[in-house]
Amino acid sequence: MMTIHQSRLPISSSRAALFPLLGLALVVVLAPSAQAQTILLKTGQAIETKGARRSGDMVMIKVRVGASSGEVGYRASTIAKIDFREPLQLKTTAAFLSQGQAEKALAEIEPIVKSYEPFRDIPGNWWAPAALLKVSALSGMQLDKEAEKLGDEIRKNVIDPETARAAQLQLVAGLVRKDEYDKALQLCDNVIKESTKAEVLAEAWVDKGDVFLAQRQWDAAALAYLHVPVFYQEEKRWMPPALLGSARAFRSLEDLEEARRSLNDLTAGYPKSAQAEIALTELQKLPK
């Protein structure tokens, strides 16, 4: 027999099995909320809830039964997916990163990484995308060991191969700083060969351009960077670094016309990016 209290509804792990037996005798009504989530069980049953929390191998969800409120517990292994709403912080963090504000990006995304970490074994969570942004922020702050550690954690805990590839790319900047160019290029080439996701491929070509630029291989760098404006124009996050990188490669090749064109495209198309201010300075330094 189920006990209901006004403030709490303690329900055993066999609660899910009782619902079909109760039929129309009990209807679970959930309070509407902007944070409402949908829990999809492997049985096909969908349950809406105001929120969920993790307690060991149980996922506790908030519900209302009649006039009473409480929690229902389901084993994580019985859940097919939790339809979490996309955190707004993913976009704001990406914006901070595009503006070169790695410290602000880290502060913005850290709470999201922590809040979704208990659910990272359940499909539908946002831990991996948030963790990827955190790795980017750590890399931007040159905290290479922390970035590498989190990148390894992502690769070990995600099923989606594209997410794992994106995590691999976060290691490139640190490898370049250690002059491990061959390893960095091999990593980029593996991702380019295996990935089918435009966002991941655009990042891989930018990273590959960065490696060649560090090696002073100007032709190869320009070719790598130009893959982004030619093939991946919709990947706005990677257009500014690709344009800036190509401009630097062209300048080193003494192709000042192409360098100026890339810098002008950057300042005109992406004026709020971290690269735009740098581009303005470099435009002024170009010979007339």
**For residue 9, is pLDDT > 60?**
no
Q: Which two tokens stand for residue 105?
A: 């990006």
In the chain the domains, ranked by start, together with CATH numbers, are 15-83 (2.30.30), 86-170 (no CATH), 179-288 (1.25.40.10)
Strand order of the sheet with strand 46-49? 46-49, 37-41, 79-83
pLDDT level of residue 14 (50, 70, 90 thresholds) = very low
Could you give the C-alpha distances from 259 to 41, 232, 287, in angstroms and in order? 55, 20, 11
Residue 100 or residue 268, greater confidence: 268
pLDDT level of residue 245 (50, 70, 90 thresholds) = very high
Q: Which residue has the tokens 């300042």?
A: 267
pLDDT at 106: 96
For 183-242, what is each residue's pLDDT tens digit? 999 999 999 999 999 999 999 999 999 999 999 999 999 999 999 999 999 999 899 999
pLDDT level of residue 36 (50, 70, 90 thresholds) = low
Residue 37 or residue 178, greater confidence: 178
Lowest-confidence pick of 4-13, 34-43, 102-111: 4-13
Could you give the C-alpha distances from 256 to 52, 214, 224, 250, 263, in angstroms and in order? 57, 20, 18, 7, 10
DSSP per-residue codes, 37-57: EEEEETTS-EEEES-EEEETT
The C-alpha angle with vertex 183 and arms to 180 and 188, in degrees rounded to 5, equals 120
pLDDT level of residue 10 (50, 70, 90 thresholds) = very low
Range 182-197 burial, b when 16+ CB lie within 10 A, else e: eebbebbeebbeebeb
The overall average pLDDT reported for the chain is 84
For 126-184, what is each residue's pLDDT tens digit? 999 999 999 989 988 889 889 889 988 998 888 889 998 998 898 898 899 999 999 99
Give the global pTM.
0.71
**For residue 33, is pLDDT > 60?**
no
pLDDT at 212: 98
